[in-house]
Structure 1
Amino acid sequence: MTELYSRRSFLAGVLTAGTLSAAAGYVLTRRESVQLTLASGVDPTGGRRLLVTMWNELNPDARIELKEVNSSTRDQYDTFLGTNADIFNLDVIHIPRFAADGRIVPITPRGELQLLPNVRRLSARTGTDDFWGLPFNTDVGMLYRRITDKSVADEKPELADVLARSPGDFVGQLRTVGPQTDEAFVINVLEHALAQDEAILTADGTLSFSLGQWREAVGPLAAAIKAKRVRTEAGEDYTTRTFQRSDLRYMRNWPRSYPAIDRAERTKKETAEVRIGGLPIGIIGGQSLAVSAASANQDAARAAIHFLTSASSQLHLAKYGFAPTGLGAYIDPGLSEALPHLYDIRLAMESARPRPVHKRYTEFSQLFADHMRRYLHEGEPLTQRFIEDLQGALRE
């Protein structure tokens, strides 16, 4: 265990040095100093903050002030607009609304980026080579599993099998108590529905409006919750806590949590390690950096975004648990040796599907969460009103 994590620490130093070296092409020469403001959600890992620090060391005349806004996914649009920012770190589901309302301007990627196709589609402007925001990090739901004996064959389980055959030994974000936990709940329910019926949400984010199809897709989850065969928690933090304190075998969570969880769980005598694998079809997430249309320093903002999203920066972020956006990080020999789970993340990314890409996604998400909460936890049946509400929210 000591050798593994000392090697990762050494790798972190190499990546940091490599990022700084590769950043030479991002140094700006300015006659007048400017101050850039980057509005972002909170980063519990510190990895993104360190990249901002690197940029500031290289560009003292175009320093970034990082303003971390403690907001939920649902209210990000309103809270970010209340911040006078040059750069927005947007959750991918908010890009359509910011673009439709003229809040951001396009940015052209540099040739070095080899973005994964699923990542590219979420931020690219249709019919152009430009993006509304350059992908900063991506995300995809993963199935964690506790390994107690490495000599026993480790078969990667399917989510539907875990739900049916591992009573009380699985925990996910399957409860919501308000806006802060609604989005995790929506994503988890969609993933369970996809595990039963992959046609419930297509590869381009088109949702089924068949009531019968939805009843069949979420019926097994409702039965498992009613029979207490799954642990339901609100949000990622409580899910992790239940997994660790109860020594559960399985958990659904994001890859960003993996380094810290694996490190902590290896201290237990009964746990050899924690591994992660993809869901049958996970939900893709992530954040992209966009230039504010109101910024007076758009050229400097674009240069900063190119640095923060560069191929070398992706190597750095991977060390902190973030899922890289480009192919380079997944095939880098040194990174693959130190972080072998990146292979599983890449496989999960290739089959992942987006939530409905729509400027009124926030309204859709709230309605979906309300209906599913009442169905899964209060025993209220799914009716045609569920379908009508979703159709109304996603209507152009």
Structure 2
Amino acid sequence: MTELYSRRSFLAGVLTAGTLSAAAGYVLTRRESVQLTLASGADPTGGRRLLVTMWNELNPGARIELKEVNSSTRDQYETFLRTRADIFNLDVIHIPRFADDGRIVPITPRGELQLLPMVRRLSERPGSDEFWALPFNTDVGMLYRRITDKAVADDKPDLAEVLARAPGEFVGQLRTVGPQTDEAFVINVLEHALAQDEAILEADGTISFSLGQWREAVGPLAAAIKDKKVRTEAGEDYTTRTFQRSDLRYMRNWPRSYPAIDRAERTKKDTAEVRIGALPNGIIGGQSLAVSATSENRDVAEEAIHFLTSPSSQMHLAKYGFAPTSLDAYIDQGLSEELPHLYDIRLAMESARPRPLLERYTEFSQFFADHMRRYLYDGEQLTQRFIEDLQGTLR
């Protein structure tokens, strides 16, 4: 296999990007060799994997073995517990449980990080300057739109308007076929509910337990599905495929998919480009890096995390489609010119809502998915049992 880059050119690129400074001092002072294990979900872009390679090139005495664990968002906690690791790359919804169970230890961020407010809130340790995990990349739901003529005024509808004004021209992750697609389904339904009633889920993660409020918030989505005015798919990959093969106008997806989708769609003669815009209140996602409480090399693991989450690393990840966690990437002039859609991602982040902040979020998600699946597709009405099941996860 042809080597994609030489060691010399690779390090030259790192130097140009300003990333080397994040680890140079550590490289010079390290004496004893150690091996770190980083447990993470899969990275289809290769961007996070390349950052690990950068660290290993710069720190041959403290190499990271990236162990990609096959798990869904729902079962990540149990799956990661079976994986011996020094660093966990946690979905933000699992940070509270790992912290409460003593599975991770706090870490203090360095001064150069200027995290977006919502990103900070999801990972910090309340009442201190410490974090339970440092944000690696963030994520937020975005509305994709196909542009066929750049000379025509760009219409930027919101999610509610798409349901009403573009029958059959929208696709989202509005079906689920099991644990691997349940979480995408939950997030998409929450976003549609928020498009109708932003008080259904508050900015602090407090969710409504009003049955009437929920019926009104998800009623338009149920009607659109029944009348076949929306295309429904299970998971991000099938959603993207339907958007591309059917030349649909609109799609809900994560920003990570944008670079590849835009490149592919520009090859069609009737598509000028694909653009993305903020949902009224998208759901924030993302992953954060935490030091395992059982690690025998916590100091080394912390250094690696500082490197992987640095402002320079965030700019690198942005080029692979990841939504940056820090303000630096959004205000960098060169990066903004190269990736103008970062402006829309920042707008989306500023209005985003977290999923309900519950220690038993996994149970909440399962109840929510089960009730909503029966409501949207089996014709069962939402009853007080829906509210009781959700409230039960608080106890």
Distance 2:16 2:98 in 1: 32
Give secondary structure in 2 for the equivalent of 1:145: strand
Match of 1:198 in 2: 198
Q: CA deviation at 1:15?
A: 8.6
Distance 1:214 1:16 in 2: 52
1:249-294, Cα deviation, whole Å (9 max, x unpaired): 0000000000000000000000000000000000000000000000
Match of 1:270 in 2: 270
Distance 1:300 1:28 in 2: 13
Match of 1:298 in 2: 298
Question: How big is the alpha-carbon RMSD for the aligned residues of Structure 1 and Structure 2?
Answer: 1.3
After TM superposition, the structure 1 = structure 2 runs for residues 24-35 of structure 1, keeping only pairs within 5 Å, are 24-27=24-27, 29-35=29-35
Q: Report runs of 4+ in structure 1 exceeding 2 Å deviation.
A: 12-31
Match of 2:121 in 1: 121
Q: CA deviation at 1:25?
A: 4.0
Distance 1:16 1:159 in 2: 41
Residues 118-127 or 13-22, more deviating: 13-22
Asked if 1:110 corresponds to 2:114, the answer is no
Q: CA deviation at 1:353?
A: 0.6
1:282-324, Cα deviation, whole Å (9 max, x unpaired): 0000000000000000000000000000000000000000000
After TM superposition, the structure 1 = structure 2 runs for residues 290-329 of structure 1, keeping only pairs within 5 Å, are 290-329=290-329
Match of 1:257 in 2: 257
Whether the 8 Å contact between 2:14 and 2:54 is mirrored in structure 1 is: no
1:166-220, Cα deviation, whole Å (9 max, x unpaired): 1100000000000000000000000000000000000000000000000000000
Give secondary structure in 1 for the equivalent of 2:334: helix
Match of 1:135 in 2: 135
Q: CA deviation at 1:165?
A: 1.0
Whether the 8 Å contact between 1:142 and 1:255 is mirrored in structure 2 is: yes
Give secondary structure in 1 for the equivalent of 2:74: coil
Residues 12-21 or 216-225, more deviating: 12-21
Q: CA deviation at 1:24?
A: 2.4
TM-score, with length taken from structure 1:
0.95
> Against the structure 1 CA distance between its residues 29 and 252, is the aligned structure 2 distance closer, same or farther, given a 3 Å change threshold?
same
User: 2:99 is aligned with what amino acid?
Assistant: A
User: Would you say how many aligned residue pairs link Structure 1 and Structure 2?
Assistant: 384
Whether the 8 Å contact between 2:141 and 2:253 is mirrored in structure 1 is: yes
Match of 1:4 in 2: none
Whether the 8 Å contact between 2:22 and 2:310 is mirrored in structure 1 is: no
Distance 2:275 2:375 in 1: 32
User: 1:278 is aligned with what amino acid?
Assistant: A
Q: CA deviation at 1:30?
A: 2.5
Q: Could you tell me which runs of 5 or more consecutive residues in structure 1 were left unpaired when the two chains were aligned.
A: 1-11
Match of 1:241 in 2: 241
Match of 1:55 in 2: 55
Match of 1:330 in 2: 330
Q: CA deviation at 1:155?
A: 2.0
Distance 1:162 1:28 in 2: 56
> Against the structure 1 CA distance between its residues 25 and 247, is the aligned structure 2 distance closer, same or farther, given a 3 Å change threshold?
farther
Distance 2:18 2:137 in 1: 18
TM-score, with length taken from structure 2:
0.95
Distance 2:53 2:314 in 1: 15
> Against the structure 1 CA distance between its residues 70 and 16, is the aligned structure 2 distance closer, same or farther, given a 3 Å change threshold?
farther
Distance 2:64 2:273 in 1: 39
Distance 1:13 1:268 in 2: 33
Whether the 8 Å contact between 1:15 and 1:315 is mirrored in structure 2 is: no
Q: Give percent identity, aligned residues only.
A: 88
Match of 2:389 in 1: 389
Match of 2:351 in 1: 351
> Against the structure 1 CA distance between its residues 120 and 222, is the aligned structure 2 distance closer, same or farther, given a 3 Å change threshold?
same
Give secondary structure in 2 for the equivalent of 1:27: helix
Distance 2:226 2:324 in 1: 37
Whether the 8 Å contact between 2:14 and 2:20 is mirrored in structure 1 is: no
User: 1:316 is aligned with what amino acid?
Assistant: H
After TM superposition, the structure 1 = structure 2 runs for residues 1-16 of structure 1, keeping only pairs within 5 Å, are none
Distance 1:26 1:345 in 2: 33
User: 1:119 is aligned with what amino acid?
Assistant: V
User: 1:393 is aligned with what amino acid?
Assistant: T
User: 2:276 is aligned with what amino acid?
Assistant: I
1:116-155, Cα deviation, whole Å (9 max, x unpaired): 0000000001100000000000000000000000000002
